[in-house]
Amino acid sequence: MSTLVLAIFLPFLAAVMIPFLYKYVQKIHVGWFVILVPTALFIFLASFIPAISGGEVIEQTMRWIPSYGIDLTAYLDGLSLTFALLITGVGALVILYSIYYLSLKEPIGTFYTYLMLFMGAMLGIVMSDNMLVLYVFWELTSISSFLLIAFWYQRKRSREGAKKSLIITVAGGISMLVGFIMVGTMAGTWSIREVIANVSMISGDALFIPAMLLVLLGAFTKSAQFPFHIWLPDAMEAPTPVSAYLHSATMVKAGIYLVARFTPVFGGEAVWFWAVTGVGIFTLFWGSFNAVRQTDLKALLAYSTISQLGMIMSMFGMGSAALYMGYSSESVVYTGATFAALFHLVNHSTFKGALFMIVGVVDHSVGTRDIRRLGGLITLMPVTFTIATIGSMSMAGLPPFNGFLSKELFFISSRDIAEASFFGLGTWGMAIPIVAWVASVFTFVYAMVFVVRTFLGPYKEEKLEHPAHEPKPGMLVSPIILGLLVIAIFFIPNVIGNHLITPAMSGIFPTFAAEGEDLGTYIHAWHGFEPELFMTIGVVLFGVFLFLTRRYWSGVYKLFPEKWSINVFYGFVLDQMEDKSTVITNKYMTRYLRDYMIYIFVFFILAIGGTFIITGAYQFTLPENAAISGFEWLIVLAMMTSGIAILSAKSRLTVIVLNSILGFGIALLFALFRAPDLALTQTVIEAVTTVLFLVAYYFLPEMEKEDASKKTKSVNLLIAIGVGLVFTVVALAVQGNKAFDSISSFFENSYELAGGRNMVNAILGDFRALDTMLEVIVLLIAGIGIYTMIRVRTAKKESDQIEDK
């Protein structure tokens, strides 16, 4: 196995080993062992930075399903490396933080198992070149995040939040899969790189735009873009380490990665530009606007994350305009937006990860996250306050923090795109920098709320569950590291810009890179007295004003009452679907076998019989059939007599005997038609079935007289006649209309093909091996379920006996 593929599967291997390790090291926090996995992966991946920054691309393939062109191809370029370093680097810090956050009394073995599953799935997404493999990992992130969000499953809100995230992200993932299938069908390949190389061949296809929209739907749901953002605030019910990892550096960035990776495919289209830019810029505003009204620190950060993701998404949309322009000096202006998006993606992971951890520290120390109960913590928790200030001011876009640099680039990009004349920007372009500026004002306001309302003002000890105090030093190590990165990136931004962001740009604009264009951007804090500087000053001044006067204008939120929110609409639709489905289910789930058989047989008559009538496939010629011998007539007549006699039988024993005549009659026909294997199988099955009927008959109550109406009997008779006629017509039509050669000649060679002299066994064991294996798995699962129920019932009886004693 190649090293890159092994790197993807290392977290999965760790997830398998953690339960066994946890069993033997319960006195030691298992997190100390788990942290070795992301740390080793981070060091391993970081070793590729010199090669990747030098223009190399690493590709390693492990064969999986070559007949369908599906292989595990690990593809490492600047874009995937940037995301992979965030996944492993932030992952290591989150695990270190969780060691002090989670008590040994918690099921931490389960927690780290889920976390490793998620980490492996995320690495699989960003390093997979095959679209179908990417989709498999994509859905694994949805499942593992569901398990992480519902970690405290005893809480109803945790379960509801996990369910909501699963429903929305999986629905988007399915639409993305359909889009992938369309792209693969158009391009004739599942390789993303090959699709990018041949994009000119598929751009005019009728499926191109539908495929684009379906892929975007998957990206928007995963990255919590409006109106699919509603799952993210509810997901905050997860433990804080989960929030710091999933919702700042990894899961929500999966949608961002998808947009970045497929920009070379769809980026030159106006639909892509407006969908990505428009949804992103509105999500930026809506998230920041709603963050101000929150009273829970994690909810505030949740809406902040939504807003920041919208900002990153909008910049990718603006940057895609360069592909419409083609390689030219003018188009390079717009690539700066993509550079800013990648740079802010890194910055957001640092300051937002630190802020989530700080919220966990506050909650862990004082027992609440409610802003209305907090205040005055600065003197009692000075280290926590310092990190919170660094993260908040970076989020607000102030110097000397890294968020300022990427926010300035954002303002520059929005101003440049507003001056463009294509895609209808001459009419609507000015709305982009205006909305960006207004959203940035609200971003500054909620950053002030986070710091001022939590750490300044009067200390309200009577409203806290615990007296305020700094946590154990170990819990502060991870947020301190992230806080130091926030400052360090401000002073040396071009280290990341040159070695990570610029190589990532080559993956998004491969044609530009092939032309020798330098896609990098020199990052510096001082741009001179340019419009973006005045926009930042305006954000600060107006933001301070709004913060100080928020009690006078907060009534604007009453214009958006909760009962009209998308969240309430989602709940209403879900409840209606559940209620209606219950009504519909009760209509056909009557608990009567007769009703179920009627549904099946009526559907069979309508579907098969109707198809035969519409297509005219019921034609057949009887004279061409072989002659029927007298012995065969006797067997058939005996079976017909038995079948009719069953209807009027008064005794169960008589029914069993007559039913056995039918079964053994079929076995005789198999023998006459030279199918000894089938005859033997039918004989064994019929004998066993008869014995089982007789055993069951012994324990059944007395047979009651059937009290069915004439209408019921008439319906039964019509259905029986209909099914019989359809089966007969199908058999005769198939016999008289052979469109293809019989497949039996293929199976006759079973000894050479499968090494089995018994054709039936060869079909079951080799030709239908996968089907048979799945049937065995179903039986195994059913057996495990029955065994578990017996164990639970036995344990309950033993418990009751102990209580009685």
| Structure confidence by residue, pLDDT tens digits, 49-105 | 999 998 889 988 888 877 777 888 899 999 999 999 999 999 999 999 999 998 888
Which tokens hold the place of 765? Answer: 């064991």
Which tokens hold the place of 186? Answer: 């158009």
If phi > 0 it is left, if psi is from -120 to 50 it is alpha, else beta; for residue 574 that is: alpha
pTM for the predicted model, two decimal places: 0.81
Q: What is the pLDDT of residues 115-170, one digit of tens each?
A: 999 999 999 999 999 999 999 999 999 999 999 999 988 888 889 999 999 999 99
Supply the DSSP string of 748-790, one letter for each residue. Answer: TTHHHHHS-SSHHHHIIIIITHHHHHHHHHHHHHHHHHHHHHH
pLDDT at 349: 94
Interior CA angle at 407 toward 402 and 411, to 5°? 155
Checking if the pLDDT of 313 tops 90, the result is yes
Q: What is the pLDDT of residues 566-595, one digit of tens each?
A: 888 888 888 888 888 888 888 888 888 888
Nearest C-alpha neighbor of 77 from the set 194, 171, 156, 193: 193
pLDDT at 330: 66
Checking if the pLDDT of 631 tops 90, the result is no
Alpha-carbon gap, residue 665 to 655, rounded angstroms? 15
Alpha-carbon gap, residue 509 to 339, rounded angstroms? 11
Which tokens hold the place of 724? Answer: 């019989």
Q: Using an 8 Å Cβ cutoff, are 336 and 320 in contact? A: no
Q: What is the mean pLDDT of residues 461-467?
A: 86
Checking if the pLDDT of 310 tops 80, the result is yes
The upper half-sphere exposure of residue 784, i.e. CA atoms within 13 Å in the direction of its Cβ, equals: 5
Q: What is the DSSP letter of 62?
A: E
Alpha-carbon gap, residue 266 to 186, rounded angstroms? 13
Lowest mean pLDDT among 81-85, 323-327, 348-352, 688-692: 323-327
Q: What is the DSSP letter of 500?
A: I
Q: What is the pLDDT of residues 399-447, one digit of tens each?
A: 999 999 999 999 999 998 988 888 888 788 899 999 999 999 999 999 9
Reported in sequence order, the residue ranges of 67-195 that DSSP labels E, i.e. its strands, are 70-76
Average of per-residue pLDDT values in the chain: 88
Instruction: Looking at mean pLDDT, say which of 14-23, 626-635, 670-679 comes out highest.
Output: 14-23
Element spanning 71, H or E: strand 70-76
pLDDT at 414: 92
Alpha-carbon gap, residue 305 to 300, rounded angstroms? 9
Decide the pairing of beta strands 58-65 and 70-76. antiparallel
Q: Using an 8 Å Cβ cutoff, are 339 and 409 in contact? A: yes
Q: What is the pLDDT of residues 694-710, one digit of tens each?
A: 888 877 777 666 566 77
Checking if the pLDDT of 758 tops 90, the result is no
pLDDT at 802: 56
Q: How confident is the model at residue 360 (pLDDT cuts 50, 70, 90)?
A: very high
Lowest mean pLDDT among 431-435, 547-551, 729-733, 743-747: 743-747
Lowest mean pLDDT among 183-197, 303-317, 602-616: 602-616
Checking if the pLDDT of 805 tops 60, the result is no
Alpha-carbon gap, residue 537 to 217, rounded angstroms? 36
Q: Using an 8 Å Cβ cutoff, are 177 and 259 in contact? A: no
- Own/partner pairs for 674-683, CB < 8 Å, 24+ apart? 677/758, 677/759, 677/760, 678/760, 681/760
